[in-house]
Amino acid sequence: MTYEEKILTYLAENYRKSRKDTGNNKTNRRTQVKPEKLYKKYNANEGDFEEISKLNQAVEGLSRKGFITAETETFGTQLKCIYMTDEKIKDIEHYLTDKFGYTPKDMKLQKLKELVERYQNASSICKKECAVLAEYIESRKIPKNIDELDDILKAVAFIEKNREDLYIREVSMKVYGDSKFFEEETLQPVCSMLRKYSCRSFEDELLDEILLDFHISKDPQKLCIKGNAIINISGKEADISGFLNGIEFLASDLANISSVKIIAREFMTIENRTSYLRYHADNVVTFYLGGYANRYQRDFIKMVYASNPDIVYRHFGDIDAGGFWIHHNLCEVTGVKFALFAMSVKELQNKEYALCLHKLTDNDRSRLQELKKMDIYAEVINYMLEHDTKLEQEIVSLTLAK
């Protein structure tokens, strides 16, 4: 930017952000900018004389155009403050537009109105977001993401209505005609908007996992199970007990599975992959979660429970806020009452694990407060809070495997 563009842009933006723009100002304070805001070394001894001269010349030229006035030192030529001629705001914006390609606020508001008209009936989430944008228009405010809003709402409208299993790059092709645009440009804001209007919890969940709710995934989703079990798929029985480290199959195969027979006393979900790989026990079938249960894992667990309602169901995870919230969510989304495994005070007091204990963060303490009200967690969480401690499960699974 030249100093001419810098000065006028700064003043025009400040004017449009002020109450003068809406006519609600109670005082008539002049729109202004200090020279050091434009060149931070303006008043410093080591300031570049050439830069200072360029700034002074720009101020002089804009003063002749009637766009600004300037206050200088009583005895000297150094600038003290630069003031916009407020009644010239439209002329200034036109000048910025013609010379520098600037987009005035009124043009941005018009763009916002057009976006609301285009997307308010595109989907339920778009409708809710457009109601928020309408309030922006009413109060003459511009959202920070206005330049990417069209691309965001376009994707949200498509995703919310999607019923087809798709990968992210396929979504990008369908929405933008470009396989990488979604992942590289709009993935984060789109997922943020989808989460904003979702009624479920996202504790410890990656931002883009919300896409799984709409049949969209980054890579093929895999389900991992290990132990003595028979899976009835496409009318055939697959005995997986011979696979010592278990099997992985794509979530797309779920539609072909009619039942899962557990030939063991227990079915256990395990939070972390290392613990899933490490833990082996007779009469236990283990299932890898990797965090909060996604919809494919949820549906598979429901199928297991429907086929095996009388066995014991346990969950093994980290002894921290995330681990307990994952367990709580697991029980909620599957309807299965999973008992806790190796997630008690006993593990926290075990001297073998002493070097692996960590102190709680402020965020940990905050997230534990709600959990401690639930009877199933009360004892261990009160101990954690009192002794300022937590423990990851990998050391526990390693010990149990010995």
Helix (H), strand (E) at residue 15? helix 3-17
Q: Which helix (H) or strand (E) holds 147?
A: helix 146-161
Contact 306, 250 (CB under 8 A): no
Within 19-101, strands assigned E span: 32-33, 68-72, 79-84
| Residue predicted with more confidence, 150 or 19 | 150
DSSP state of 319: B
Can you tell me which residue has the tokens 């969950």?
315
Burial (0-12, 13-18, 19+ Cβ within 10 Å), 394: middle
For a pLDDT cut of 70, what percent of the chain falls above it? 98
Residues 44-73 have a mean pLDDT of 91
> What average pLDDT score do residues 324-340 get?
95
In this prediction, residues 64-89 reach a mean pLDDT of: 90
pLDDT band at 27 (very low <50, low <70, confident <90, very high): low
Using the CB atoms, write b or e for 198-213: b if 16+ within 10 Å. Answer: eeeeeebbeebbbbbe
Residue 234: predicted pLDDT: 94
Instruction: Give the pLDDT score at 26.
Output: 64
Token digits of residue 300: 């598979």
Compute the residue count for the chain: 402
Residue 306 has pLDDT above 70, yes or no: yes
Which domains does the chain show, CATH number per domain? 3-102 (1.10.10), 106-217 (no CATH), 222-400 (3.40.1360.10)
Helix (H, G, I), strand (E, B) or coil at 267: strand
* Distance separating alpha carbons of residues 67 and 86, to the nearest angstrom: 8
What's the token pair of residue 251?
Answer: 């979530």
CA distance 332 to 203: 14
Q: Does residue 237 surpass a pLDDT of 70?
A: yes
Residue-wise pLDDT tens digits, 180-220: 999 999 999 999 999 999 877 676 567 888 998 899 987 77
**What mean pLDDT is predicted for residues 1-15?**
91
| SS3 category, 241 | coil
Q: What is the mean pLDDT of residues 155-163?
A: 96
For the chain, percent of residues with pLDDT exceeding 90: 76
Return the SS3 of 259. strand
- Note the pLDDT of residue 198: 87
SS3 of residue 391 by DSSP: strand
Q: What is the mean pLDDT of residues 59-86?
A: 90
Q: What is the mean pLDDT of residues 238-258?
A: 93
Give the tens place of pLDDT for each residue, 348-383: 999 999 999 999 999 899 999 999 999 999 999 999
Q: Do 383 and 320 touch, CB atoms closer than 8 A?
A: no
C-alpha of 92 from chain center? 39
The pLDDT value recorded for residue 161 is 95
Average pLDDT for residues 93-109, to the nearest whole number?
Answer: 90
Burial class (CB in 10 A: 0-12, 13-18, 19+), 157: buried
What is the chain's mean pLDDT, rounded? Answer: 92
Residue 43 confidence (pLDDT): 87
State residue 203's pLDDT score. Answer: 64
